[in-house]
């Protein structure tokens, strides 16, 4: 059976794409952010993932408001990138793993998660940037060393699924991976957050105390955040801080592991208007 | 008619829900089109014609003409789609944050940095 090797959860601010394109990793503004990633890459070298289930939210590239699924799973053989409208370069397309995708679809629906399936899906910075941060040498060559299975959670249009629901979705994803008849090594990525708010008079709202408590809770008390409603989470973390739901689902996917070990974390304010986080958990 | 959901009031914040999605649909649809360079150019060639094509209402048209983010949100705009509109003018998130909070860009950036201390 396939093995879940762990999770990497990370922020995905679009401006990171601009910084990579302009080689600003050592620039004083960017360095505290980019310096978080070598330790994650070092862990990945030993962990050797073949496939990544990446839990992300769309930003108005793949989905418009005409159809807005709460949960969706990509089932494509390849995921194209595209112009997102604000000038960051589109990165390489990502190869999919339709076998795992359809296994996930079967298992999630059997588990009463009535997801939408996407045989075609455009991927935006929420998928490209985590890949670029974790595999920069491959990114520079315009390729990726892993296959991806995108799982999208709606954080565009309220009502969003609750943190408790996303936790259970993650648990279901984890069970599906563990029942996949394959010798592949599977990494789970949670892409989003942490606290930030782009819109309104409250733009620029950040909450370091909450973010650090949230990151800490994911190691040993991962259901801590499920005590909050989504409106409460928006108040605590900002209108886009709700993307922390991706981290909750990614952590849920590890819930069936025998043991969870924190391998690395980083936290830095600000990148653009965002508090950025990185958390690497090993599952055994 | 408003949805029956009890709305939490968060100062300075509009949660993009069904009510916003309904009033903002055409505005957001126009902004969604700005994923395409061809559409961005068509908008810049003739803004009024482009807004009419997407059937924006008067408040939405005026908010677009004013390049005013708070007015755009009040007219149903969603920040992810509005960001594509702002991108046409090469505005970044600190420009937009400064405009919405009535701060200078430098003061807004300083506020972000202070939140990390």
* Residue B83 to chain A, least CA–CA distance (Å): 7
Cβ of A204 within 8 Å of Cβ of B97? The answer is yes
Report the C-alpha gap between A277 and A33 in whole angstroms: 9
Report the C-alpha gap between B69 and A119 in whole angstroms: 35
- Residues A192 and B52 sit within 8 Å (Cβ to Cβ): no
| A212 Cβ under 8 Å from any chain B Cβ | no
Averaged pLDDT for residues B35-53: 97
Report residue B35 as tokens.
């994923």
- Residues A190 and A249 sit within 8 Å (Cβ to Cβ): yes
Averaged pLDDT for residues A220-241: 97
Residues contacting residue A215 through CB under 8 Å, at least 6 positions apart: A194, A265, A267, A277, A279
Report residue B57 as tokens.
């209402």
Of the candidates A65, A204, A269, the beta carbon closest to that of B25 is on A65
**pLDDT 10s digits, A50-104:** 999 999 999 999 999 999 999 999 999 999 999 999 878 899 999 999 999 999 9
Quickly tell me which residue has 């279901």 as its tokens.
Answer: A172
Query: What pLDDT is stored for residue B8 in this prediction?
Result: 79
DSSP three-state, residue A273:
coil
Of the candidates B16, B31, B100, the beta carbon closest to that of A157 is on B16
Is-catalytic flag, A59? no
Percent of chain B scored above 90 by pLDDT? 91
Query: Which of chain B's residues have a Cβ under 8 Å away from the Cβ of A159?
Result: 5, 17
Cβ of A234 within 8 Å of Cβ of B97? The answer is no
pLDDT at A6 over 60: yes
The answer to pTM > 0.95 is yes
Cβ of A159 within 8 Å of Cβ of B5? The answer is yes
**DSSP for chain B?**
---SSPPP--TT-----HHHHHHTHHHHHHHHHTTSHHHHHHHHH-HHHHHHHTT--HHHHHHHHHT-HHHHHHTT--HHHHHHHHHHTT--HHHHHHHHHT--HHHHHHHHHHHT-
Strand A185-191 to strand A3-10: parallel, antiparallel, or no bridges (unpaired)?
parallel
Beta bridge partners of A262: A281
Of the candidates B5, B29, B115, the beta carbon closest to that of A208 is on B115
pLDDT at B96 over 60: yes
Residues contacting residue A262 through CB under 8 Å, at least 6 positions apart: A219, A279, A280, A281, A282
Averaged pLDDT for residues B51-77: 98
Using the 8-state DSSP alphabet, how is residue A96 labeled?
B
Mean per-residue pLDDT over chain A, rounded: 97
Query: What pLDDT is stored for residue B3 in this prediction?
Result: 52
**pLDDT 10s digits, A154-182:** 999 999 999 999 999 999 999 999 999 99
Percent of chain A scored above 70 by pLDDT? 100
Query: What pLDDT is stored for residue B38 in this prediction?
Result: 97
Strand order in the sheet with A116-118: A116-118, A71-74, A147-153, A51-56, A185-191, A3-10, A274-283, A260-271
Query: What pLDDT is stored for residue B2 in this prediction?
Result: 52
Q: What is the 3-state secondary structure (H, E, C) of A217-271?
A: HHHHCCCHHHHCCHHHHHHHHCCCHHHHHHHHHHHHCCCCCCCEEEEEEEEEEEE
- Taken in order of first residue, the domains within chain B and their CATH numbers are 18-89 (1.10.700.10)
What are the domain boundaries of chain A?
3-283
| A201 Cβ under 8 Å from any chain B Cβ | yes
Catalytic residue among A12, A56, A59, A125: A125
| A83 Cβ under 8 Å from any chain B Cβ | yes
Using N-to-C axis directions, what is the helix angle for B79-88 and B93-101, rounded to 10°? 110
Ramachandran class of B103: left when φ > 0, alpha when ψ lies in -120 to 50, beta otherwise: beta
Query: What pLDDT is stored for residue A89 in this prediction?
Result: 86
Averaged pLDDT for residues B13-41: 97
| A159 Cβ under 8 Å from any chain B Cβ | yes
Phi, psi (degrees; rounded to nearest 5) at A99? -65, -50
Report domain A3-283's class.
alpha beta
Of the candidates A84, A159, A206, the beta carbon closest to that of B35 is on A84
- Residues A229 and A164 sit within 8 Å (Cβ to Cβ): no
Query: Which of chain A's residues have a Cβ under 8 Å away from the Cβ of B35?
Result: 60-61, 82-85
Query: What pLDDT is stored for residue B5 in this prediction?
Result: 59
pLDDT at A26 over 70: yes
């Amino acid at each position: 059976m396939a093995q879940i090797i762990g999770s990497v959860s990370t922020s995905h601010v679009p401006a990171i794409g601009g910084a990579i394109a302009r080689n600003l990793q050592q620039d004083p503004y960017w360095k505290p952010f980019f310096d978080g990633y070598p330790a994650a890459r070092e862990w990945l070298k030993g962990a050797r993932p073949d496939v990544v289930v990446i839990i992300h939210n769309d930003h108005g590239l793949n989905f418009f408001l005409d159809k807005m699924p709460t949960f969706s799973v990509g089932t494509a053989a390849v995921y194209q990138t595209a112009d997102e409208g604000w000038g960051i370069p589109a990165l390489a397309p990502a190869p999919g793993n339709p076998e795992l995708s359809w296994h996930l679809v079967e298992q999630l629906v059997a588990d009463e998660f009535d997801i939408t399936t996407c045989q075609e899906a455009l991927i935006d910075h929420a998928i490209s940037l985590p890949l670029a941060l974790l595999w920069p040498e491959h990114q520079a060559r315009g390729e990726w060393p892993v296959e991806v299975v995108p799982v999208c959670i709606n954080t565009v249009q309220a009502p969003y699924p609750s943190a408790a629901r996303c936790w259970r979705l993650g648990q279901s994803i984890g069970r599906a991976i563990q029942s996949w008849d394959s010798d592949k090594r599977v990494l789970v990525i949670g892409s989003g957050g942490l606290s930030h708010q782009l819109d309104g008079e409250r733009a620029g709202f950040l909450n370091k105390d909450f973010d650090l408590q949230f990151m800490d809770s994911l190691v040993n008390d991962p259901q801590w955040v499920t005590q909050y409603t989504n409106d409460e989470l928006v108040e605590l973390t900002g209108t886009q801080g709700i993307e922390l739901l991706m981290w909750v689902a990614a952590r849920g996917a590890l819930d069936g592991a025998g043991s969870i070990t924190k391998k690395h974390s980083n936290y830095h304010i600000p990148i653009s208007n965002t508090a950025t986080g990185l958390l690497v958990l090993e599952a055994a | 008619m408003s949805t029956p959901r009890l709305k939490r009031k968060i100062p300075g914040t509009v949660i993009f829900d069904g009510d916003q999605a309904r009033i903002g649909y055409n505005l957001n649809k126009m902004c969604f089109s700005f994923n395409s360079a061809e559409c961005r150019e068509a908008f810049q060639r003739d803004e009024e014609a482009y807004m009419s094509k997407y059937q924006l209402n008067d408040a939405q048209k005026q908010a677009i003409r004013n390049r005013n983010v708070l007015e755009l949100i009040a007219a149903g705009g969603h920040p992810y789609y509005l960001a594509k509109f702002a991108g046409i003018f090469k505005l970044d998130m600190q420009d937009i944050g400064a405009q919405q909070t009535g701060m200078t860009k430098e003061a807004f950036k300083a506020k972000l940095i202070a939140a990390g201390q």
